Chains A and B, each alone.
Chain A
């Protein structure tokens, strides 16, 4: 009997604490800008999610911002519930569901919360179809990828590059193509082997692909997966060079690291916070590249030669003044068809680039399975 009484006591204490807790958490200051961030993977993945988390951490340093986040939220009804929980329990004014696959779920509840702004990372917002309290933001990260390609082109001795990619979608293909075109601007004989692993987080396949590429004589690898950690570490261990993706991975590969195409979400999120604070209308569609400062290259690794640095810096200057166009004809795909005719050029903002389904000449691999 004594044991049961004890258990009752513990249960009672628990309920009491629970009721007390409710009062405390409600007492937060009301005048802060409340921003909620949602990631599909872990905050410390050395990749896509960490890039967003770093952006959130920077904006959270402002005294007038209250930023909160959730990691590992699947692209199912759970993200709907997470968003609603942030709105109902934490009073979020603006939400940043950062994974691409969250978009249909955002549309399902945006109408229910007209005062909350839903900003999705991916550039899908369409004025004719979507509500006014939804928006998207995205960056032309293939610009720093092109620069990484230039560096890789200079550094590779074998002329064979490797690209480990998740799935053959336009975003990924554009990065593979830009990287390859950057490298071939240095040496037109360079080839890029591309392997699609079939998922955003497949560490085992990513390691296998890296190893088999290195076995084939590839001496620079890069990737487009959620977490480049495995690829970068495998390259370092096998003594070849690598370019990362999403965030700076220099610490993971002190010897072979060249550079990375990085997001600069800190600036994006700080800008949004300022807009909300000053009561400005948030634009539904925000895009930008190197010029706008929302993507960047990591500092070059120690091995990167002077010549490579100079070449990449020169092209970066051209991105800055807007004179650089990556997709300028004539461009052939890797099956020999002309995809961009001579004299034709597609600027970064061109919507045609966002339905890319081809791989550029010099890429070894297929865009369609």
Chain B
């Protein structure tokens, strides 16, 4: 029980400290911090409309966060979520265009999701393989792969896959209205949120409740120890990377199938990079990613209200995210150090 209390109390405490620091920053900027907090609440969680706004923005972050969180459990810092989103979205659109009208929408959507997951898995799996087999730094290689993915997308979107009707915003042909992911119930939230939550829960189970997940954690904790115990280190690293890549690939598919209906440069809207922040805040725990993504979605949603109500620049929300990031990372040092949060010593 106390173990859970600690992993709850420290992040929440860190969050409150960062809100305090952010309040100071706002005061220095000449705005009443309580008005600003009120606006954040109003824009992010103050009404059903605000909640929908928050959740829709959180959906892609859940999946892109997994792209950093899973490899991180194996000890790799991967920042290639953006590229995996682009590749996943691109291949999803490609398969959607080919299958449009040939199969019923359910199968087309399933096909798009599978292909996007495989594309993302290969993309980030390659990062893991390069690291394990050739010793290439995974942070650098995954960052550079982002640029390659965007360049490939540009090449096809202005070239052979361009729909001539999209004159000034080059895009691929549409996947067809019938094959779009709709909204959940009567809300305006698309099914991307549901898929994101399901993937997070499934991967949490895999990482925390199976021998595979335990193996990955051992590799991340101490590679030498993992090798000595005979764990298949390479396979674990590459699989963890591939699973993360698959999640980000699905995020790309959702952007195509729930939002744009075709692939274009709007795929690289920065969700891959925002996901890195979510993963670190959630301490690479797939289940914790869900609330953290919602929190960040809320901050993004309220960013607009801050600009409109207080004439604060958009960078204000970035400052807030930055403060939260730094304080949470600093709070990592507190684990196991606060005596009142430790389990009582067992009587001898």
Contact surface of A with B, Cβ cutoff 8 Å: 7, 10-11, 14, 17-18, 20-22, 24-25, 36, 42-43, 68-78, 81-82, 84-86, 88-90, 100-101, 103-104, 122, 167-171, 198-199, 354-355, 368-369
Contact = CB atoms under 8 A, between A and B. Distances in A.
A69 B308 contact: yes
B255 A76 contact: yes
Given A70-B308, A168-B158, A22 B38 contact: yes
B307 A71 contact: yes
24 contacts: A14-B34, A18-B38, A21-B39, A22-B38, A25-B39, A36-B308, A42-B314, A68-B308, A71-B313, A74-B269, A75-B269, A77-B57, A78-B300, A84-B188, A85-B49, A85-B304, A86-B304, A88-B49, A89-B42, A89-B43, A100-B168, A169-B169, A170-B167, A199-B150
B283 interface: no
A103 to B, nearest CB: 8
A169 B43 CA distance: 37
Interface stretch (B101-109, B129-137, B258-266): B258-266
B159 interface: yes
A25 B42 contact: yes
Contacts of A20: 34, 38
B159 A70 contact: no
A17 B34 contact: yes
Given A101-B169, A167-B158, A167-B170, A70 B304 contact: yes
B265 A199 contact: yes
Contacts of A14: 19, 34, 37, 41
B35 interface: yes
Main secondary structure of the interface of B (DSSP, over half): helix
A77 B259 contact: yes
Contact of A84 (B37, B49, B259, B305): B49
Given A7-B16, A68-B308, A101-B169, A85 B43 contact: yes
B205 interface: no
B232 interface: no
Across the A-B interface, give the 7 residue pairs with the lowest CB-CB distance, nearest first: A21-B38, A74-B269, A68-B308, A17-B34, A18-B41, A75-B266, A72-B314
B158 A76 contact: no
Contacts of B255: 76
Interface in B142-161: 150-151, 154-155, 158-159
Nearest to A357: B167
Interface string B246-272: 000000000100111100111001100
A54 to B, nearest CB: 15
Contacts of A354: 167
A198 B151 contact: yes
Nearest to A356: B167
A81 B42 contact: no
Contacts of B170: 167, 169
A101 B167 CA distance: 11
Contacts of A101: 169, 264-266
Contacts, number: 129
B266 A369 contact: no
Contacts of B13: 7
Residue with the greatest number of chain B CB neighbours at <10 A, chosen from A42, A72, A73, A90: A72
A167 B305 CA distance: 33
B309 interface: yes
A75 B213 CA distance: 37
A70 B37 contact: no
Nearest to A168: B158
Given A69-B308, A76-B259, A85-B43, A21 B34 contact: yes
B153 to A, nearest CB: 10
A81 B16 contact: no
B284 interface: no
B324 to A, nearest CB: 15
Contact of A85 (B53, B168, B269, B314): B53
Nearest to A11: B16
Contacts of A168: 158
Given A76-B255, A85-B305, A369-B155, 17 more contacts: A68-B309, A69-B308, A70-B304, A70-B308, A74-B269, A75-B266, A77-B56, A77-B190, A77-B259, A81-B52, A84-B49, A85-B49, A85-B50, A89-B49, A103-B169, A167-B154, A168-B158
B343 interface: no
Contacts of A81: 52-53, 56-57, 301
A336 B138 CA distance: 49
Given A72-B314, A76-B269, A18 B154 contact: no
B194 interface: no
Interface string B24-46: 00000000001101110111001
A60 to B, nearest CB: 10
Contacts of B308: 36, 68-70, 86, 90
A355 B57 contact: no
B154 A198 contact: yes
A26 to B, nearest CB: 10
Nearest to A109: B188
Interface in B32-82: 34-35, 37-39, 41-43, 46, 49-50, 52-53, 56-57
